Amino acid sequence: MTLVAITPPDFDVEFDLAYATPRNFTGKPVYGRAAAFLHPDAAKHLKRAIDLAAALGLRFRLFDAFRPSEAQWKLWNFRPDPDFLADPRRGSPHSRGVAVDLTLIDAKSGEALDMGTPFDAFTPLSYHGDTQVSETAQRNRFLLLGLMSASGWDFYSREWWHYQLFDARRYPVLSDSVLRQGLMAQE
C-alpha cells in the first residue's frame, strides 16, 4: 500500500502534528518524526476540503492523519478510553490511513478559530453539538463539519476535530512498515 505524503504545495495545510511532540495527552512524542500521510482516497477528499475552505479565506491546521497501528497501541496503553480512542484490536480509521484530526485557521492571520476545547480534550465538551461551549465555537464547529461533510468525510460525534471516510472499515489496518521511513519513535 502506498500512502500519499501530505505536503505542500499539493496540500495547503498548516502542520501541528501533536503526536510528534510532547504536546499531546501522553506528554511525550509518540512519533519519531513529524510527517503526515493518507490513503489516496482520503487524500482526494482532503484536497476537496482544502479548496472549499480556501474559498472562505480559511485553511486547515492538521493534528494527525495516518497513525501506524503501533502508535494506536501506545495511545491505547496510555489511556484505554473507548469514548475517545479506537481499540487497536478493532483498528482505528487513522491506522487505515483514512482519518484526519484538524481544525480551521484564518488564512491571513493564521489564528485558529475558536472550537471551544483544544484538540484531544477528552471531555463531553468536545462532542459535536455540545451547547456548553460558546456560540462562536458552536458556529465554528458547524462550519468545520459542513466543509468536511461537503468534501465526503464522516464525523465522529465525540470529537469535533476527527473526520474519517464513510467506509473506513473496508480499508486494512496498516503498520509503520508501510512507510519507507517510518513515523514511530525509536525506544
Closest CA to 74 of 125, 2, 26, 139: 26
Catalytic residue check, 187 = no
Helices (H) and strands (E) in the chain, counts: 3, 7
Closest CA to 68 of 22, 112, 33, 27: 33
Tell me the C-alpha distance between 15 and 29, whole Å: 15
Tell me the C-alpha distance between 21 and 163, whole Å: 21
Catalytic, out of 14, 135, 159, 187 = 159
Whether 50 and 11 have beta carbons less than 8 Å apart is answered as yes
Whether 172 and 96 have beta carbons less than 8 Å apart is answered as yes
Whether 3 and 95 have beta carbons less than 8 Å apart is answered as no
Q: Which cell is 124 given?
A: 463531553
Which residue numbers are catalytic?
159
